[in-house]
Amino acid sequence: MSTPAAEPGACYVLRLYIASLTPRSMAAIRCVRAVCETHLHGRYDLEIIDVYEQPTVAREAQIVAAPTLIRQFPLPLRRLIGDMGDQRRVLTGLGLSVKDSRTLET
């Protein structure tokens, strides 16, 4: 029996926690959206949560630093904390493999 992560075409449910609309937060949003559009086009749901506007949600998710990207589905849950500018790091954090790494921008 395969896990949802192994199923081709699985839909990804992601939450990106940011701290206000700072330049770093805006860069994280752009980078995560670019990775999702390039590698998960049509197969993802990305929710952006400002920890200052929704502190209860951030507390419940045990967010200690921003930006933090959480892959809620497919299971297992995965967290990526810090710089989202490195596409290879974001893909690894999401548990995605890229057969041809030349398609990644550095």
Query: What pLDDT score was predicted for residue 1?
Result: 34
| Per-residue confidence band for 106, with pLDDT thresholds at 50, 70 and 90 | very low
In order of start, what are the domains of the chain with their CATH numbers?
10-96 (3.40.30.10)
Convert the pLDDT of each residue in 40-49 to its tens digit: 999 999 999 9
Residue 61 has pLDDT above 80, yes or no: yes
pLDDT tens-digit readout, 69-93? 999 999 999 999 999 999 999 999 8
Secondary structure (DSSP) of 23-79: HHHHHHHHHHHHHHHHHSTTSEEEEEEETTT-HHHHHHTT--SSSEEEEEESSSPEE
For residue 102, list its beta bridge partners.
none
